Chain A
């Protein structure tokens, strides 16, 4: 699947924006699933499904913030794995 030409504006706007990377999103979803003891194969499947959903959401947007991207990814992840979605959302607000 070709990469979408979407710019991700980083949190707080302090770091430069970067191009959307499906691989990066996929890896973060897999990590969230593995963190709640999901088998690796299932984690990959869920991540692929969530990335597809997010890609659809991104397809009509030239740029989004990283917070929006995380929120939308968490919303879709919540359909497949609520525990992983909870941890995915909490990741930045644990400390």
Chain B
């Protein structure tokens, strides 16, 4: 896999990550509570901004951690079996997203453990300051590890093969792209758009997002499998 392909794989993995909705759901709820409590606009902005930064930091830390882990385990080139396992994981998570990502009911309820969902919901309601909001952003990313784990693992495997400068660029690129959905909602809320229209869009298009997320993982898996397993055993 050449440098361009590596960066393209990282970008596609990050786009798939961006299609996942837990952090966006929590941000929507947080914005609703902050606006509903009649906080000043600047306070709402501070809370939502801290949340987005928290989610970004968590994503960056997770990807860095995985890259360091793989680098220490396998060096710059992971064995073919690791790529094969990763491809299997991508397929499994992709199919699981098609089948289970949203619960079959109204709204945008996700198949995350209910205890975790209630915890996030309660914490969102109790969030009063920027530090709590930052922590909530961190938590929301960890709560979605079940789904974002696969694109993160693949990106980490690809990342360690790059030169140090490109590794940093890839890390930032992944983080920025994976936060596109969050940043969009943050910008819409900050510019005074109605939360109901945002939530309506999310509810109306949840099937599309589910299809794109699951399908994207399958496409990514196929590409990586062909390039890494058929294309020279991790060369």
Contact = CB atoms under 8 A, between A and B. Distances in A.
B121 interface: yes
Interface of A: 30-32, 34-37, 40, 83-84, 86-87, 90-95
A37 B107 contact: no
B162 interface: no
Interface string B180-208: 00000000000010111101100100000
B38 A94 contact: no
Interface string B3-36: 0000000000000000000100110110111011
A94 B107 contact: yes
B192 A34 contact: no
Interface of B: 22, 25-26, 28-29, 31-33, 35-38, 105-110, 112, 117, 120-121, 192, 194-197, 199-200, 203
Interface centre among A32, A34, A90 (most CB of B within 10 A): A90
Given A90-B107, A95-B25, A35 B121 contact: no
B192 A32 contact: no
Contacts of A83: 194, 196-197
A1 to B, nearest CB: 23
Top 3 closest A-B pairs, CB basis? A93-B107, A31-B36, A83-B196
A47 B162 CA distance: 59
9 contacts: A31-B37, A35-B31, A35-B196, A36-B195, A36-B196, A86-B196, A87-B32, A92-B107, A94-B32
Contacts of B120: 95
Contact of A93 (B22, B26, B109, B192): B109
A90 B107 CA distance: 6
Interface of B is mostly: helix
A64 B50 CA distance: 40
B64 to A, nearest CB: 27
A95 B109 contact: yes
B20 to A, nearest CB: 13
Given A35-B195, A93-B106, 18 more contacts: A31-B32, A31-B36, A32-B36, A34-B37, A36-B195, A40-B38, A84-B196, A86-B200, A87-B196, A93-B105, A93-B108, A94-B29, A94-B32, A94-B107, A94-B199, A95-B29, A95-B110, A95-B121
Contacts of B26: 95
B112 A95 contact: yes
A31 to B, nearest CB: 3
A46 to B, nearest CB: 13
A95 B206 CA distance: 13
Contacts of A94: 25, 28-29, 32, 107-109, 199
B194 to A, nearest CB: 5
A90 B32 CA distance: 11
A95 B22 contact: yes
Contacts of B32: 31, 35, 87, 91, 94
A37 B203 CA distance: 20
Contact of B194 (A37, A92, A93, A95): A37
B24 to A, nearest CB: 10
